[in-house]
Amino acid sequence: MSKSLIGAVVVATLVWWAGWAEAPAPVGTVGTEITFTAPGASSGATSLSLAFGQATVSSRTEFSRAGLDAEHLTLAVDWGGVTFGTGMTFNPCFSRYWFDVRGSCYLWCCPLGLGGLFLVENLAPVCQIPDYTMGIVLDLGTGYERGFFARSLTGFGVTNVWALIDLDPATFVAAAPGLWFEEELLHVGFTSDCFLADAAVLFDPFGFVWTEFGASYIYPEPEAELGVRSRLDASWLDWAKLFLGVRVPPVGVRLVTTFDLLGFVEQEVWVEVSFSWVRIYSRTRFDLGSFLQVTVGAEVSL
């Protein structure tokens, strides 16, 4: 109850900072999707996102045949160049609370980004006696919007810090017992209007974990993407991925092919159709043997 109260106070404060009192007309999206992972196994989700000026509120509800699986509530505010975010997860009992902040300033004529994430998570089984732990991620970066950039993420009591920069909304950091050093991620690269090249290295308390390299080229009209990523661990090549995407409105298609040292691993096919205020999409994963996962969904702009 106390953590819920703390979250409510934080949300109310951020909304006030964003100028909620001005009551701007809200804009946002509402959507639903269903995922099939095996014959007879499926899960679904509904989502709602609303923007009020500089504040964004979102909700995602995940469910299966057994009932409610999880509820995710988040709020983000951009206040004078400083971004605040907070969120809670229930599964269906309270399981996670997080708060992060990130801003930038100029030091020696170079933009410097500073940020941090605070996490409280329940490690106990669902709706059992709580076993709370805390985690912190320190975020330090530098670089312009176009050109060279560098970023460092240090996790204490937190693993999977790569999820903070992988641009996948379905991934998030994971809590570990105790408030000890868990991971250090270094990410450097170069970006321009049509080209991106980057490299990342991950360390844990035992040393080197993996390194990842990537490069992609984006052609503006019609929009097309060609890229490759590879990850190497202590045993050499972990995986390599080839990306190919094309968007000719209203249709967009993206293919992701994964390989390892033995050859083909799996294929992902993303398809999206957008018209007026409706977006319909699907994501299909399969290997040489069978389909692994199929997700279909629709999203409506408000």
Identify any residues that bridge with 232 across adjacent strands, giving them in sequence order: 211, 237
Question: Which of 77, 70, 14, 75 minimizes the C-alpha distance to 45?
Answer: 70
Which has the higher per-residue pLDDT, 119 or 111? 119
Q: Span 270-296, mean pLDDT?
A: 93
Banded model confidence at residue 23, pLDDT cuts 50, 70, 90:
low
The first and second tokens of residue 74, run together, are 């988040």
Amino acid sitting at position 190:
F
Distance between CA atoms of residues 9 and 290, nearest Å = 49
pLDDT tens digits, 142-163 = 987 788 999 999 999 999 999 9
How many CB atoms are closer than 10 A to CB 132? 14
Distance CA 173, CA 155 (A): 9
Pairwise pLDDT comparison (230 vs 112), residue with the higher score: 230
Residue 192 to residue 209: CA distance in whole angstroms: 29
* Alpha-carbon dihedral 141, 142, 147, 148, rounded to 10 degrees: -70
Q: Please give the model's pTM, rounded to 2 decimal places.
A: 0.84
Residues β-bridged to residue 41: 38
pLDDT digit string, tens, across residues 165-191: 987 877 899 999 999 999 999 999 999
Tokens coding 57 = 């509120």
pLDDT given for residue 300 in this prediction: 96
Q: Which amino acid is at 290?
A: S
User: Are 158 and 152 spatial neighbours (Cβ–Cβ below 8 Å)?
Assistant: no
Ranked by mean pLDDT, the top range of 62-66, 173-177, 289-293 is: 173-177
* Percent above pLDDT 70 for the chain: 91
Instruction: Give the pairing type, strands 181-191 and 236-248.
Output: unpaired
CA dihedral 92, 94, 204, 117 (to 10 degrees): 120
Confidence of residue 24 (pLDDT cuts 50, 70, 90): low
Q: Identify residue 281 by its one-letter amino acid code.
A: Y
Average pLDDT of the chain, as a whole number: 89
pLDDT of residue 52: 86
